[in-house]
Amino acid sequence: MASLGVNIDHVATLRQARYRADPFSVLAEPDPTEAARLAEEAGAAVVTAHLREDQRHIQREDILRIRRIVRRLNLEMAFLPEMIAFACELRPDEVCLVPERREEVTTEGGLNLLGQEERFRPGIARLRAAGILVTAFIDPVEAQVRAARAAGADCVELHTGGYANAIRVEDQEKEIAKQTAAADLAHSLGLEVHAGHGLTYRNVRRYVARVPHLHTLNIGHAIVCRALWVGWQKAIREMVGLAAGE
């Protein structure tokens, strides 16, 4: 059973496909801020957006606008000094630290925190001192969970791509076992457990039924796709129900 964080990046992707030159023109649509407002109205507990360095979808201005209207914002960002400074000023409710490579289509793997705990510690402490819940997006590997704890994170977001991409039932079971072990360990270390990446209307029910201690699932692409057929708020309401284990 988990709450739903709705990732609105791909609403911005659609806008940028047509209005890259002037995303805040009066003509530009769809508006990610309106998507965020409607997502909360439909039951999303959190609005999640990734401000990438190249601003390929969400723009800095989007984040400023969304911050003003949502109840709970989770800002995904790279661990970079300028992003940490931006977040400390903006004060989103949550920051999720993700690896970022320019050439990737989407976030491909979790952060590698092994041996990096001391490098991450001061930046994470700064974010936490600004009142922000800090999450590390990691692969479901026990050493990464321990490293996230050692670096001072409040929370881990388990990368569910391995589970989402497994086609054979035995491969899915192996991934569920990894997710379960990572979630159990995180919980025992006092970390909140989030999960996301590649979760869909087809695979989320089993995930939620099997993996313990889930607090929030962050889901984007599947919701945007389903919204094309049934509408944004219905797609979100359906996923809120699935995340809750209904």
Q: Where on the chain is the footprint of ligand PXP (CB under 6 A)?
A: 7, 9, 50, 76, 96, 98, 106-107, 137, 157, 196-199, 218-222
Residue 50 bears catalytic tag: yes
Among residues 10, 159, 197, 215, the one annotated as catalytic is 197
Instruction: Report in angstroms how near the CB of residue 196 gets to ligand PXP at its nearest.
Output: 3
State which residue, 21 or 239, has the beta carbon closest to ligand PXP: 239
Instruction: Report in angstroms how near the CB of residue 180 gets to ligand PXP at its nearest.
Output: 19
State which residue, 51 or 98, has the beta carbon closest to ligand PXP: 98
Among residues 50, 57, 194, 215, the one annotated as catalytic is 50
Q: SS3 breakdown of the chain: % helix, strand, coil, rounded to 5? A: 50, 15, 35
Using the structure block, give the residue that is written with the tokens 């300028």.
82
Among residues 76, 94, 175, 192, the one annotated as catalytic is 76
Q: Are 58 and 73 in contact (CB under 8 A)?
A: no
Instruction: Report in angstroms how near the CB of residue 41 gets to ligand PXP at its nearest.
Output: 20
Using the structure block, give the residue that is written with the tokens 């708020």.
233
Tokens of 121: 């510690």
Instruction: Report in angstroms how near the CB of residue 135 gets to ligand PXP at its nearest.
Output: 8
Between CA 93 and CA 75 the distance in angstroms is 8
State which residue, 3 or 7, has the beta carbon closest to ligand PXP: 7
- The closest alpha carbon to 14, from 42, 41, 40, 34, belongs to 34
Instruction: Report in angstroms how near the CB of residue 181 gets to ligand PXP at its nearest.
Output: 20
Burial of 188 (0-12, 13-18, 19+ CB in 10 A): exposed
Task: Compute the Cα dihedral for 120, 152, 215, 178 and give only its sign.
Answer: positive
Collapsing DSSP to helix, strand or coil, 113 comes out as coil
State which residue, 106 or 180, has the beta carbon closest to ligand PXP: 106
List b or e across 212-231, with b for residues whose CB sees 16 or more CB atoms inside 10 angstroms: ebbbbbbbbbbbbebbeeee
Instruction: Report in angstroms how near the CB of residue 27 gets to ligand PXP at its nearest.
Output: 27
Residue 76 bears catalytic tag: yes
State which residue, 11 or 170, has the beta carbon closest to ligand PXP: 11
State which residue, 25 or 193, has the beta carbon closest to ligand PXP: 193
Amino acid residing at 213: H
Element (DSSP H or E) covering residue 157: strand 155-159
Tokens of 62: 């989007």
**Which residues are known catalytic residues?**
50, 76, 197
